[in-house]
């Protein structure tokens, strides 16, 4: 088994970590917008997947109700 | 001469900078950010100094290092050549950690079990983490190597990875490069990984 380490050092605040990257504010805004778009797109895709999973299960029930 | 300061959350990534490694490189960046670490690579710091000096300074500034030795094949481009950079950097790290065991801890990573015994038998007795050449493997093994209370579950790490991965092409296009290892692209990948990590749950916040 490879060894593992238990980390006790506190995580640096998010703002500090962002500052260390030295990315201009305007570019940060663009990147955040890009990530928000990706989140929305992935949420939509997940919704479609969920609906596709539900529909085949419902169809037989509807069919039997119609009979 | 005083020792250089060490960042307790910095992890030096000693990896192959090739096209086949893109997904694993991204997995290391995302996974380390989600776990609260700061990945560092040799190309992520400003140029000017000799590369070897930069690498030594990087190793000294990082509390941890990951040495991915999964690329032991000869390069496909002629002349077929083995990669010696990674073993060289591993050797320097092992020496540094031997001299200053409280300042540095290093980890070995491979894609195949048992291969390290053949490629680097001097390291017998050091078990590598096996990522099987997959991003999911890298993420789950990062979680095994670095145990942190309240760490995000693996599923959440995979979600963060997919979110960042979906933006890689755009970041490259907007940077006007195909080099995912360039300093500017690395910084932006770190930024979007942080953004993904910060929205992945309260446990990721300090």
Give per-residue pLDDT as tens, B106-151. 999 999 998 888 888 888 889 999 999 999 999 999 999 999 998 9
- Report whether pLDDT(B21) > 90: yes
Q: Do A41 and B162 make contact, defined as CB atoms within 8 angstroms?
A: no
Specify if B1 maps to a domain.
Answer: no
Specify if B147 maps to a domain.
Answer: yes
φ/ψ (deg, to 5) at B132: 60, 20
Q: Is B117 on the interface with A (CB under 8 A)?
A: no
Specify if B125 maps to a domain.
Answer: yes
pLDDT bin (cut points 50, 70, 90) of residue B9 is very high
Mean pLDDT of A18-33: 96
For B54, the domain range is 7-204
pLDDT at B49: 67
Map residue B135 onto helix, strand or coil. Answer: helix
pLDDT at B167: 97
Q: What is the rounded average pLDDT for all residues in chain A?
A: 86
- Report whether pLDDT(B40) > 90: yes
Residues of B in contact with A30 (CB under 8 A): 174
pLDDT bin (cut points 50, 70, 90) of residue B50 is confident
Residues of B in contact with A6 (CB under 8 A): 147-148
Angle subtended by helix axes B168-175 and A25-66, to nearest 10: 150
Q: What is the rounded average pLDDT for all residues in chain B?
A: 91
pLDDT at B54: 87
CATH number of B107's domain: 3.40.50
Among all residues of chain A, which has the CA nearest to that of B146?
A5
Q: Do B192 and A35 make contact, defined as CB atoms within 8 angstroms?
A: yes
Specify if B30 maps to a domain.
Answer: yes
- Selected for mutation to probe chain A from B145, B152, B166, B200 (highest A CB count within 10 Å) is B166
Q: Do B198 and A14 make contact, defined as CB atoms within 8 angstroms?
A: yes
Residues of B in contact with A27 (CB under 8 A): 188
- Report whether pLDDT(A13) > 80: yes
Strand intervals (E) in B2-120: 7-14, 38-40, 62-68, 105-110
Query: Running DSSP on this structure, what letter comes out for residue B182?
Result: S
Map residue B195 onto helix, strand or coil. Answer: helix
Structure tokens at B90: 């591993």
Specify if B102 maps to a domain.
Answer: yes
Q: How many domains does chain B have?
A: 1
Nearest neighbour of A21 by CB, restricted to B162, B167, B187: B187
**CA distances (Å), B163 to each of A5, A39, A54, B158, B160, in order?**
28, 7, 25, 9, 5
| pTM of the entire predicted model | 0.90
Specify if B74 maps to a domain.
Answer: yes
């Amino acid at each position: 088994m490879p060894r593992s380490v238990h980390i006790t050092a506190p995580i640096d605040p998010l703002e500090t970590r962002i500052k260390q990257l030295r990315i201009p504010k305007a570019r940060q805004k663009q990147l955040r917008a890009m990530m928000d778009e990706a989140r929305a797109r992935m949420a939509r895709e997940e919704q479609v997947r969920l609906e596709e999973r539900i529909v085949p299960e419902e169809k037989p029930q509807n069919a039997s109700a119609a009979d | 001469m005083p020792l250089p300061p060490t960042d307790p959350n910095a992890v030096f990534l000693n990896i192959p900078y090739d096209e086949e490694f893109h997904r694993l490189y991204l997995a290391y960046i995302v996974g380390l950010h989600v776990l609260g670490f700061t990945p560092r690579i040799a190309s992520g710091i400003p140029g000017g100094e000799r590369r070897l000096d930069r690498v030594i300074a990087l190793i000294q500034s990082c509390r941890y290092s990951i040495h991915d030795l999964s690329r032991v094949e000869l390069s496909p481009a002629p002349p077929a050549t083995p990669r010696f950079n990674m073993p060289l950097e591993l050797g320097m790290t092992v020496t540094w950690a031997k001299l200053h065991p409280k300042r540095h801890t290093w980890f070995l990573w491979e894609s195949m079990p048992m291969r390290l015994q053949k490629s680097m038998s001097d390291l017998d007795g050091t078990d590598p983490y096996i990522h099987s050449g997959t991003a999911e493997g890298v993420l789950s093994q990062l979680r095994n190597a670095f145990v942190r209370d309240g760490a995000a579950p693996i599923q959440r790490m995979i979600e963060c990875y997919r979110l960042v991965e979906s933006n890689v092409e755009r970041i490259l296009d907007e940077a006007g490069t195909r080099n995912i290892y360039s300093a500017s692209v690395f910084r932006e990948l770190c930024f979007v990984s942080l953004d993904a990590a910060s929205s992945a749950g309260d446990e990721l916040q300090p």
